[in-house]
A and B are shown apart, each in its own frame.
Chain A
């Protein structure tokens, strides 16, 4: 199963994902997809360092369904974290401030 790293940004709490160079991005579409467990664990160490550095809070790995050309989270919880409350689609806004 493909994976991504999700966390909250410390300063504003918004949902962020780890990007391909270990940077943090506000949209799941820009997140790095790890195809194997070894890579995922290696980058999780980098994420832990970001916790130590007071940049992010509570990073962890999520399963990603990368079929169909788009990286989508598996399950309701991570879908809601990625795209906002399912009952308020009018509020869609990601950590980059991009309205939906």
Chain B
């Protein structure tokens, strides 16, 4: 298991705090939406970064008003077949203008890396013996995209419009 950000294997500064654990006094934490609701005031008193973990049936709309306090939203793929998180990521970026980290967690299948990256994810928890190598192989799969997704990459149609040829 490793965390990939900006194409690099990085140490995860965040600690995942489960609902039965107590929140440590110091250090960045990721909590569930239930914990956030219950301990919101306590968490905000801490000076460290806060992230929220959303399950695939938890719509980011519920935390839309709190995004300003959050540095990270982890979107869970309970199975790689459950594609809701792609839409959640798009909504977080486009509709709620969230600029923090959107982390892919759970059943993160690297064959879908491009879909995630283009939908707004920028951090990936990768289950592999050599996460960086696996990531690099997957990242090399595509260089052409048909869709605009607001991730800054130009679509084929836009490149054509600019007269750019491959």
Q: Do A and B touch (CB < 8 Å)?
A: no
Interface residues of A (CB under 8 A from B): none
Interface residues of B (CB under 8 A from A): none
